[in-house]
């Protein structure tokens, strides 16, 4: 899990660096094309047609498009804002998922969920306050990324019980590659990358693919309730990389806002873990 979060933070930092020279859609293309190529090399020889076998192809494509939107919007946001603060905005996703799961999946929510959602958005206001490090266009991009990522997670919940994890991962890479390749005439232009920048563009796919594979492997070895808090280590990596490569550190109020968002999301994870433990004890008592 720690390795996965480092990969995701490195992907964000690299895209921020490249956005100074190249259009964001080109980087999205690189992120998915090299991810797809990596999966074809590593998994296609053993899985063959099992890599694309699915009972719900339309849902797989829609889910993948949500992740493509997440990548594109977040890269556009990273180009305009510091790494740490913009990463924190994406971490409101668990709060949005709570609301969407209530409306779309008919899941019940308690008072602690509502309180966590409200508190989390207070954290956003602390980060995005007037005079802070964020600007309005960048904030809009990051909020759109969080919205797409929330829809992606909801669809993941719906698909995961009956679909292979690796198949779901491959569809995100395949759909991202196809859509961004078809759209290439709309955005391809500007300077052609040299060898170093070409390698950095390719690294976006390697970071993304490796990060998701490590994330999948982490959940194979440990429960989600144990691993979920470690996702927020990405904020630490983002802060460190932002300081090392872009010479930016969040101010005190922004750090408080980031802590509020993380605390709100973790409170939801803890409430869900507690609810499952109580339900398990009740089932045991009945038996």
Report how far residue 175's alpha carbon sits from residue 61's, in angstroms, rounded to the nearest whole number: 7
Report how far residue 140's alpha carbon sits from residue 81's, in angstroms, rounded to the nearest whole number: 11
What pLDDT shows up at residue 180?
A: 96
Which has the closest alpha carbon to 179: 25, 17, 35?
25
**Reported pTM:** 0.85
pLDDT digits (tens, 9 = 90+) for 139-195: 899 999 999 998 898 888 888 888 888 899 999 999 999 999 999 988 887 788 999
What pLDDT shows up at residue 133?
A: 59
What pLDDT shows up at residue 131?
A: 65
Question: Could you tell me which residues come within 8 angstroms of residue 80 by beta carbon, excluding any fewer than 6 positions away?
Answer: 135, 137, 138, 141
Q: What string of pLDDT tens digits covers the 287 residues of the chain?
A: 899 999 999 999 999 999 999 999 999 999 999 999 999 998 899 998 989 999 999 999 999 999 999 999 999 999 999 999 899 888 888 778 777 776 766 666 667 777 877 888 888 888 877 666 568 899 899 999 999 998 898 888 888 888 888 899 999 999 999 999 999 988 887 788 999 999 999 999 999 989 988 887 887 787 666 777 788 889 999 999 999 999 998 888 889 988 988 888 778 777 767 766 766 676 666 55
Tell me, letter by letter, the H, E, C secondary structure of 78-104.
Answer: HHHCCHHHHHHHHCCHHHHHHHHHHHH
Rg for the chain, CA atoms, rounded = 19
What pLDDT shows up at residue 109?
A: 66
């Amino acid at each position: 899990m720690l390795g996965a979060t480092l990969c995701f933070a490195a992907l964000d930092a690299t895209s921020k660096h490249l956005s100074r020279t190249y259009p964001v859609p080109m980087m999205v293309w690189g992120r998915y094309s090299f991810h797809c190529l990596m999966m074809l090399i590593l998994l296609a020889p053993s899985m063959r047609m099992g890599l694309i076998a699915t009972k719900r192809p339309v849902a797989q494509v829609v889910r993948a498009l949500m992740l493509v939107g997440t990548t594109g919007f977040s890269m556009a946001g990273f180009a305009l804002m510091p790494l740490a603060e913009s990463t924190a905005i994406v971490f409101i996703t668990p709060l949005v998922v709570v609301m969407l799961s209530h409306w779309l999946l008919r899941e019940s929510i308690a008072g602690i969920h509502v309180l966590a959602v409200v508190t989390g958005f207070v954290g956003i206001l602390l980060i995005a306050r007037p005079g802070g490090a964020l600007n309005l266009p960048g904030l809009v991009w990051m909020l759109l990324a969080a919205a797409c990522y929330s829809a992606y997670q909801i669809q993941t919940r719906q698909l995961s019980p009956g679909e292979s994890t690796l198949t779901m991962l491959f569809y995100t890479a395949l759909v991202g590659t196809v859509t961004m390749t078809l759209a290439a005439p709309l955005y391809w232009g500007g300077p052609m990358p040299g060898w170093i920048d070409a390698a950095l563009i390719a690294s976006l796919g390697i970071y993304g693919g490796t990060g998701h594979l490590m994330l999948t492997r982490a959940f194979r070895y440990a429960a989600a309730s144990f691993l979920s808090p470690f996702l927020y280590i990405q904020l630490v990596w983002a802060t460190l990389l932002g300081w090392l490569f872009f010479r930016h550190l969040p101010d005190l109020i922004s750090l408080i806002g980031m802590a509020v968002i993380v605390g709100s999301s973790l409170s939801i994870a803890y409430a869900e873990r507690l609810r499952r433990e109580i339900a398990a004890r009740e089932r045991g008592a009945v038996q």
